[in-house]
Amino acid sequence: MGVIHGDLMTLNIGPQHPSTHGVLRLKVKTDGEIISEVEPIIGYLHRCFEKHCENVTYDQVIPYTDRCDYIASMNNNFGYAVTIEALMEIKVPERVEYIRIIVAELNRIASHLLALGTYGLDVGAFTPFLYMFRDRERILDLFETLCGARLLYNYIWVGGLSHDLPRDFVESVFSFLDYFEPKIEEYNELLTYNKIFIERTADIGVLPPEVAISFGVTGPNLRGSGVKWDIRKDDPYSIYDKFDYDIPIGAGEMGTVGDCWDRYYVRMVEMKESAKIIRQALKGLPAGDVHQALPKKIRPPKGSIYKRTESPRGDLAYYIVSDGSPIPYRLKMRSPAFTALSVLGEISQGWMMSDVIAILGSLDIVLGEIDR
């Protein structure tokens, strides 16, 4: 069957659009419903994160990291704290490490819930979004008791934490996990194995592993393409090597390896694995003082460090150059969502208008982190 090409129409998706997940603009060239070119245009949310950091002391950077990936603030704090600690060679107490992992994994669940819920919205299913937000809300409530904030926590500090755990926190997390784990089955029944959802996502936007690696895509997007790469396992930081958990990868269960469904499903399974880690950490939680190792003054020695951690979106890394003063000389953040977005133009060519939205949603980008 011959294909007739008409004139191309340029269409701006965004910056104000229901499913660009923030203020992203996609400049799209369309031939009817078929997309022939996608160019993401970013920068609408640029807040000079890196320049700000060069003007405040090391501990004052932490609230700024909150505002980068505002869906997973704990993980951003965590990555920054780990980096500075490695630069200063601080050893943090065991209790701090455990609590950090508990909150980071809770935040990973919250972040994935948001990603999957809004992905449901992108393909037109409204109800799973509300189910997932209902459950994410419980995690936010837990964080509220923990540090008073629901979105921007400023909880993990260099050398320790801002507060110790509140009373009954461990029991509340256990009861949350008991409530939450069966809910994953509910999401699967409602959305994951829905025939229409599979039709919309399987075989769509296939990201082959070699393309993913060459673009520097990390996190669930890379694992969706069948590459078993997780910083928590492959370059362990904190005490992640103490726990027993699996790294789910995309297997092409419903279509090709690396399609939207695989990226979606990897996140779904990762929530289960995170719950597993939290359970182990809660059981092994030692007693101690979380403020014990907090340095009086953060003044890292001259030098530089590049340290990466696994945020819900992938390989989140900080490159910090210190000149021995209490203010960072240079701070660079490697954003996993930025590399994920860069691959969009590559994998959405030739798909239809609706698919581009589905592919964009499956990459789970956060504009706060891309623009910084």
Partner 1 sequence: MTVDNLINWFPFGTEWPVLTFVTAVIICALPVFLFIAVYALVAIYAELKISSFMQDKVGPMGQGVGLHAWKFGILQPVADALKLILKEDIIPDLADKKLFVMAPFIVFVGAFISFAALPFGQNIIIADMNIGIFYILAVGSLSVIGIILAGWSSNNKWSLYGGMRSAAQIISYEIPAGLSIISIVMLTGTLSMQGIIEFQSGTIWGVLPNWIIFNNPFSFIAFFIFFISGVAECNRTPFDIPEAESELVAGAFTEYSGMRYAFFFLSEYAEMFVISAIAVTAFLGGWNSPISGFMNSSGWGVFWFMLKSLSLIFLMIWFRWTLPRLRVDQLMSICWKVFLPFSLVNIFGVGIWSLLVG
How buried is residue 198: exposed, middle or buried, by Cβ count under 10 Å (0-12/13-18/19+)? middle
| Minimum distance of partner 1 from residue 360's CB (angstroms) | 10
Residue 136: phi and psi, rounded to 5, are -65, -35
Neighbours of 182 (CB within 10 A): 8
| Minimum distance of partner 1 from residue 255's CB (angstroms) | 14
Measuring CA to CA, which residue among 294, 318, 152 is closest to residue 231? 318
Among 37, 50, 181, 199, the residue binding partner 1 under the rule CB under 8 A is: 199
Among 11, 41, 48, 151, the residue binding partner 1 under the rule CB under 8 A is: 11
| Of 242-250, 269-277, 336-344, 347-355: span binding partner 1 (CB under 8 A) | 347-355
The type of residue at 126 is F
Among 23, 140, 152, 190, the residue binding partner 1 under the rule CB under 8 A is: 190
Taking the alpha carbons of 92, 95, 96, 102 in that order, is the dihedral positive or negative?
Answer: positive
Measuring CA to CA, which residue among 171, 167, 159, 7 is closest to residue 83? 159
Between 181 and 203, name the residue whose CB sits nearer to partner 1: 203
How many residues contact partner 1, by CB under 8 A?
29
| Of 94-102, 188-196, 210-218, 277-285: span binding partner 1 (CB under 8 A) | 188-196
Rounded-to-integer distance, Cα 159 and Cα 242, Å: 20
When asked if residue 200 is in the footprint of partner 1 (CB under 8 A), the reply is yes
| Minimum distance of partner 1 from residue 35's CB (angstroms) | 12
When asked if residue 349 is in the footprint of partner 1 (CB under 8 A), the reply is no
When asked if residue 134 is in the footprint of partner 1 (CB under 8 A), the reply is yes
Place of tokens 């949310």: 45
Between 49 and 197, name the residue whose CB sits nearer to partner 1: 197
Site for partner 1 in 90-129 (CB under 8 A): 120-127
Between 62 and 123, name the residue whose CB sits nearer to partner 1: 123
Residue 20: phi and psi, rounded to 5, are -95, 5
| Minimum distance of partner 1 from residue 361's CB (angstroms) | 8
Site string for partner 1, 20-39 (x = CB under 8 A): -------------x------
Between 48 and 130, name the residue whose CB sits nearer to partner 1: 130
Q: Which long-range contacts (CB under 8 A, 24 or more apart) does 20-23 make?
A: 20/360, 21/118, 21/360, 21/361, 21/365, 21/366, 21/367, 22/365, 22/366, 22/367, 22/368, 23/367
* Beta-bridge mates of residue 308: 317
* Beta-bridge mates of residue 333: 318
When asked if residue 48 is in the footprint of partner 1 (CB under 8 A), the reply is no
Between 130 and 151, name the residue whose CB sits nearer to partner 1: 130
Residues at the site binding partner 1, with contacts judged by CB under 8 A = 9, 11, 17-19, 33, 120-127, 130-131, 134, 190-191, 194, 196-197, 199-200, 352-355, 357
